[in-house]
Structure 1
Amino acid sequence: MSKRQPITIKEVAEEAGVSQMTVSRVLNKQKLVKESTRLRVEAAIASLNYRPNLMARGLAGGKSKLIGLAYYNPSPSYLSALLVSALKECRDLGHHLVIEDLSDIEGVLDNSVIVKRLSSIRLDGLILAPPLSSNLALLKLMHDMGIPVVALSYRDPQSNHSSVAFDDIAAAFTMTELLIEKGHKRIGFIRGPREHPSSPQRQSGYENALKAHGIPIDKGLIFEGDFTFKSGMQLADKVLDAKEPPTAVFASNDDMAAGLIAGTQRRGVKIPSELSIVGFDDTAIAAAIWPRLTTVKQPIAEMAQTAVDMISDITSANWNGQPAHVTIDTIQIIERESLTTPH
């Protein structure tokens, strides 16, 4: 039996009753197609199970781009969500994603080593994940090399690079306010590493909410973590052995919150009846542990998708040369079993 040849763009066009150019425009997400026509084309693609040849598509139109995503980040849950979304968006746009994990560099993370690694790839554009995204010297080096950059979670309107950020301050404020509304007044906070741009912002949101409700900031309830499960677990003793232990702890990412749950349960503490614990990000680990974690839903996938779209626009012939700054300010709290009212 002869193997069925792949469905072609011509067959999709005939099925939808449109030109091949219109199908191409729908595939490339161009905005020159009427909504009704786009829906008809998408229905034809689904009906025929059409799979575009992304490499051929990109080369034929001269639009295929090599986009880098560099990271040096301790949170595997965050990275998983980020990479999956960036890969999907690159695939949909016909681009190619080069993932550069810089965590294998031994010793101090030197910018010259990073530049050497990245310059050999001949990238069309680069997405920098935090904390690399707030490395001003690195951002300048990339600009001097002519590599367009989109920085994640760090916004500097005066810079030459574009950025995609989440309103961490407002989100942390909202989460802390939820804890207060539940009746908690002694609320601990676990901050992330100091070099990470989100760490001070999330702490500011936490402290602003306490001030807004007339609750004094107790520095003895603020603990130093590094966004890893291990650091959250190691902090369990410090949290529980505090002079006046908190009734709730807001860990500024899910990995640390999950580690804290494991560490406190090892001490025999019941979560949440004896201690409520909440996190930030809503990564996969939040729903995988027990009790499941109440957390801030950070739109990691949307941020990754937006960053890829930005690089695609920046490297197009129609770009106006001005960096763009996008802040996603939709805040959603996912309430699960790790939070209750204090006893």
Structure 2
Amino acid sequence: MSERRKTSARRQHARVTISDVAREAGVSPMTVSRVINAEVAVRDATREKVEKAIAELGYSPNKAARSLASARQMQIGLLYANPSSTYLSAMLLGVLERARQSDAQVVVVESGFGKDAVAAVRGMLMSGVDGVLLTPPLTGYRPVLEILHDSGVQTVTLGAQHVESEISTVSIDDHRAAMEMTRHLLDLGHERIGFIVGNNNQLASRLRLAGFREAMRLAGVDVDESLVVRGDFSYRSGLKAADLLLRLEQRPTAIFASNDDMAAAVVATAHRFHIEVPEALTVVGYDDTLLATTIWPELTTIRQPIADMSRAAIELLETNIRIDRAGEPVKARHLTRAYKLVRRESSAPPR
């Protein structure tokens, strides 16, 4: 080979990026990053394809940069403003488990909404975190999302957010899950169904309400707007909503609450009104947190794998940080986890 051709080949290899390797191997850049960093969560066949692509393209990561980057412990900021303690517990379980495995440091910051959230995220950025995990209801709060996007810090949201965003997400299909739960109630024979909406600032709330309305429309059942009441995902808001619904002259035969905290509050209110659940009132929830099986009767609910989603969100965030440290472009990914309708003792046909 002539000296000119050798020089050209070296230049060609120097231009090879992690994205080129991903295209050659037919995988994502994140998978290539996992192989390069010797992570265990890669199938052998996939690892072999990536290693073959690296060899054929002559890709050579900057070892000095990788060494310096890997030597520095990742610091991840977790910002939350969720009133549900059961959701928070499940979420933290997954986050801390994954962080312990990867030796990442997690800084947990609680905030309110509005200006408080903006101040909290700015303070987090000033502290020098490598990445941020946003949890509901902040996942749909545009001012915070815009600050994080403009800052360039790697960010992942846990739960639904605007999918056109350039920020990665891990969520379930809230619209489809709410439709399935509503169909379950309709199949039992309920038509007069109450619905308790969650935090209006949260996209998941709107998706669940839309799923409820869509299932009712497809079944040819009109939604009585007096049975759609506002909550904010807290137990206390569930108490207020249930009180409104159960005082109606024509009360619903079933109530679908947008999370388990509010559903548990409905059950408690029904007990106070001497209304038997599920004999005289069906109550269903959403999330399948620990609360769903610690009340009586146990809740029929949508199982959202919160701990698993949290682990996946931290892993995705760590991978994005590594890609960013290597000087490669990071593309947003929107991962969807499976949900499950869990039938328990709180739902039954109407009398």
> Retained in 2: the 8 A contact 1:29–1:93?
no
The Cα of 1:223 is off from its aligned counterpart by: 1.1
**Structure 1: 5+ residue runs without aligned partners?**
1-24, 36-57
Q: Distance in 2 between matches of 1:232 and 1:224?
A: 9
| Residue of structure 1 equivalent to 2:166 | 160
What one-letter code is carried by the residue in structure 2 that aligns with 1:29? V
Residue in structure 1 matching 2:89, options 80, 94, 112: 80
Greater helix fraction, Structure 1 or Structure 2:
2
> Retained in 1: the 8 A contact 2:137–2:199?
no
String of CA shifts for 1:96-138, please: whole Å, max 9, x gaps: 11111114x8xx5345412342123311100100111112221
Q: Distance in 2 between matches of 1:60 and 1:192?
A: 41
What one-letter code is carried by the residue in structure 1 that aligns with 2:223? I
Greater CA deviation, 231-240 or 91-100? 231-240
Q: Does 1:122 align with 2:122?
A: no
Percent sequence identity over aligned pairs = 36
Q: Distance in 2 between matches of 1:335 and 1:71?
A: 30
| Residue of structure 2 equivalent to 1:91 | 100
What one-letter code is carried by the residue in structure 2 that aligns with 1:209? A
Query: How many correspondences in the alignment?
Result: 293
| Residue of structure 1 equivalent to 2:5 | none
Q: Distance in 1 between matches of 2:82 and 2:242?
A: 23
Q: Does 1:340 align with 2:351?
A: no
Residue in structure 2 matching 1:314, options 302, 314, 320: 320
- The 3 A distance-change label for structure 1 pair 200 and 157 is closer
Q: Does 1:323 align with 2:332?
A: yes
Residue in structure 2 matching 1:102, options 107, 111, 114: 111
Q: Distance in 1 between matches of 2:179 and 2:294?
A: 25
Q: Distance in 2 between matches of 1:81 and 1:189?
A: 24
> Retained in 1: the 8 A contact 2:161–2:204?
no
What are the residue-to-residue correspondences of 1:61-72 with 2, within 5 Å?
Answer: 61-62=70-71, 64-72=73-81
Normalised to the residue count of structure 2, the TM-score between the two structures is: 0.78
SS of alignment partner, residue 284 of structure 2: strand
What one-letter code is carried by the residue in structure 2 that aligns with 1:335? R
The Cα of 1:143 is off from its aligned counterpart by: 2.2
Whose relative contact order is higher, 1 or 2, with alpha carbons under 8 Å and at least 6 apart? Answer: 2
Q: Does 1:172 align with 2:178?
A: yes
Residue in structure 1 matching 2:245, options 220, 239, 245: 239
Greater CA deviation, 137-146 or 153-162? 153-162
SS of alignment partner, residue 74 of structure 1: coil
Q: CA RMSD in A?
A: 2.3
> Retained in 2: the 8 A contact 1:297–1:333?
yes
The Cα of 1:65 is off from its aligned counterpart by: 0.8
Normalised to the residue count of structure 1, the TM-score between the two structures is: 0.80
Residue in structure 2 matching 1:227, options 233, 238, 241: 233
